[in-house]
Structure 1
Amino acid sequence: MDYRKKALQELSEKRSNQAGKRVVVGLDGFVDTILHLVDKRSGPGENFQRLATISDFGSRVSAAAGKSANIEMFPKMEKLGGNGPIMANAMVSAGFPLRYIGSLGKPNIHPVFQEFADKTQSISISEPGLTNAIEFTDGKIMMGITKYLEDITYDAIVEALGEEALLEELGSSSLISLVNWTMIPNMTQIFEDLLAKALPKLPEIEGGRSFFFDLADPEKRSEQDLVEALGVISKFQEFGNAVIGLNLAEGQQVSKAYNIAETGEDPESLKAMAAKIRQKLGLKMVVIHPKERAACATEDGEWCVEGPYVQNPKITTGAGDHFNAGFMSGQQLGLSPEGCLTVGVCFSGFYVRTAVSPSLDDIEGFLKEW
């Protein structure tokens, strides 16, 4: 059976498994300004030809060496951002009761997060970061200010929520998603504190508890920091099913750190990369998702599916977070690994076409048409 038809059948049969599932997501938060760069302007507003590719932008910048350049940034939209809020927003759209803990504004919630905060009963522990997301047809460049994320610590979380309330929230959740390790300087210590102070006190939960991690482009962190963090993440497997999601660049960086000779993005290379990283870390599952396809590995095998790639997306910022939301939604419903991958690429595919987070009904419709 075609993997899309199989995923549609699984999704239809297992939608009822959503009952009783609860999710906690954190810990970042960014105010995202989506930007296009102007190449040639012919009038006001959007009457311009954009710098379409990263190569075009690089050439313009390189040509300015020893001189100067003035490049106009045109704001397409301002929206909530950060790996956590985008993933959480997508899982809420999919129908999961969810509590968000992160950097959404302090002492007051930033206006861009207000609706999100209301529907997720958010706990904010710091001011948000700021991101200028410069989009191109072949990728994006994220220019971020992360100073306030230094205030995110385990003690700050306990102070904002209360230790008893934190344990109750974690204890009732079937999925705990902790994302954006790269941008949160204290995240490895937060992992350690959760392992030592919180997780041993949590009750068992029917169907087991899952943990999801997203590194969020660790290139700016040292290899030593990366290996240390991954070692700590592997300890979460003692308390449930630990899953790590990686885009292609992240997968390649992790492979390099562990001397794994797999860097390709073809299906077989992706499956091998996922399998070797999973084996190295001892995790339940490793997922790798380039733009065109996605692969995952468990102790039972490896799978890869092609995605519904679109040449001219409406938006790309947040596509990976939507994949993560879709994949973990499938995992929470009890779909097969291949089914989880298929739902993941559909979440991403729907979002980049519409700039809207899908419901599970939307995903069923998307699968029927794809």
Structure 2
Amino acid sequence: MNADMKKYSDYINNVSGNVLLGCDGFVDEVYQIVDVRQSLTEYTAMDNLKEFGELIVQRADGGVGLEIVPKRRCSGGFTPNTGRVAAFLGLQPTIIGLYGSQDIDPAFHEFKENCNLVSLGDSAVTLVFEFSDGKILMSALKTVADLTWEDFVEFFGAEKLKDLFADVDILGLGYWSLTPDFDNFLKGFMSQVSDNKPPRRMFFDFADIKKKSNESFLKSLDLVKQFNDKIPMTISLNEHEGAELFSRFGIPFGAEPALIASDLTSLRDEIGIDELVIHTPHFAVASCTADGEGYALQTHQKNVIRTAGAGDTFNGGYLSASLGDLPIKERLVIANAATAFFVTHATAPSKTEMLEQIEKGTDK
């Protein structure tokens, strides 16, 4: 084993820490769109998202009739998809969300043994139309949108709530754009850690920034900034969310990772938080107060079988890599490996599989 792989092996085989994630929960009903049907049992799926978009534009003055074929019904959302990576690395994360009101929905059964699973009610449903190069997600958000911090407090009670937040190393909260009461959740989370040893880091996935007004967005960012001195804050964004964040601050979003990393530092300083991360299918970049900036190239994956949840899986890898003292490049490499494995296997990697995936990568 060479020196590069030894550092990853030492970290992944000994990673430890308490992870608490809240507070969503989606059941993803995933479909393919039929392009050409050859017979009752054979068809060719529409494989390219851009081509699908062009079809919609071409028929904008009329209508579009499409056949869909179910692929799978599975868990979705920040808490399960992010928590899965931590669970497969043996961290037994606590994930709190909407996984079923009476019984745990079968979509979340995989988490019953390797996570501390706490359900606050019934899941939201997302219709996912999956292509090899992306996906369309349409969610019926009522159960997630209606969930409030007051509901959270009422469910646990004061004493259980105190125990829940004790000794947490990484605290995660998502999705800001899908959770109207997000700001109160953030305030509530912070109120619970004020009397305890603060977590090493708090981690956010804002999701679709475009959905929120600039006023609402800046208000939430200012709130994150206010708490940054107590707990170092990380915001992670995908390529499109990153471009939107840059545009809201009047900064062009470049194509080269080194340039994006440099601009990310300027943006992080302006926002006033500890860490910003952007992940794309081709590379991931980050800027952190203590570590400076860095990037890791992502090996192009062939035979992709699942894209919905890839970004959350990156976050799960990065979050797990943040439990120790790894440099920024190594944290990004681990997160990229988690994503690469997920899109080609539709699940998270074990410790052994994670190391094998890192070994396959060209940038480590």
Distance, in Å, in 2 between the alignment partners of 1:202 and 1:265 is 42
Question: 1:1-370 maps to which residues of 2 (within 5 A)?
Answer: 8-15=5-12, 17-19=14-16, 21-45=17-41, 47-195=42-190, 197-204=191-198, 209-259=200-250, 261-299=251-289, 300-370=291-361
SS in 2 for 1:78: strand
SS in 1 for 2:229: helix
SS in 1 for 2:219: helix
Distance, in Å, in 2 between the alignment partners of 1:296 and 1:203 is 26
Distance, in Å, in 2 between the alignment partners of 1:312 and 1:226 is 37
Structure 1 residues 7, 329: closer, same or farther in 2, change over 3 A?
Answer: farther
SS in 2 for 1:263: coil
Structure 1 residues 134, 99: closer, same or farther in 2, change over 3 A?
Answer: same
After superposition, give the CA deviation of every residue in 1:106-137 in whole Å (9 maximum; x if it has no partner). Answer: 24322212332454232222321111111123
Distance, in Å, in 1 between the alignment partners of 2:351 and 2:77 is 22
SS in 1 for 2:178: coil
Residues 11 and 335 in structure 1, CA contact (< 8 A), matched pair in contact too: no
Q: Which runs of 4+ in 1 moved over 6 A?
A: none
The CA RMSD over aligned residues, in Å, is 2.0
SS in 1 for 2:177: coil
Structure 1 residues 325, 119: closer, same or farther in 2, change over 3 A?
Answer: same
Residues 258 and 294 in structure 2, CA contact (< 8 A), matched pair in contact too: no
Structure 1 residues 65, 16: closer, same or farther in 2, change over 3 A?
Answer: closer
After superposition, give the CA deviation of every residue in 1:179-198 in whole Å (9 maximum; x if it has no partner). Answer: 11111111112112333x32
Structure 1 residues 124, 165: closer, same or farther in 2, change over 3 A?
Answer: same
Letter matched to residue 266 of structure 2: K
Residues 13 and 351 in structure 2, CA contact (< 8 A), matched pair in contact too: no
Residues 36 and 136 in structure 1, CA contact (< 8 A), matched pair in contact too: yes
**Structure 2: which 5+ residue stretches go unaligned?**
none
Residues 211 and 236 in structure 1, CA contact (< 8 A), matched pair in contact too: no
Distance, in Å, in 2 between the alignment partners of 1:340 and 1:115 is 26
Q: Taking structure 2 as the reference length, what is the TM-score of the superposition? A: 0.93
By how many angstroms is 1:63 displaced? 3.5
Structure 1 residues 167, 265: closer, same or farther in 2, change over 3 A?
Answer: farther
Q: Taking structure 1 as the reference length, what is the TM-score of the superposition? A: 0.91
Residues 126 and 152 in structure 1, CA contact (< 8 A), matched pair in contact too: no
Aligned residues: 360
By how many angstroms is 1:81 displaced? 0.6
Q: Identity across aligned pairs (percent)?
A: 26
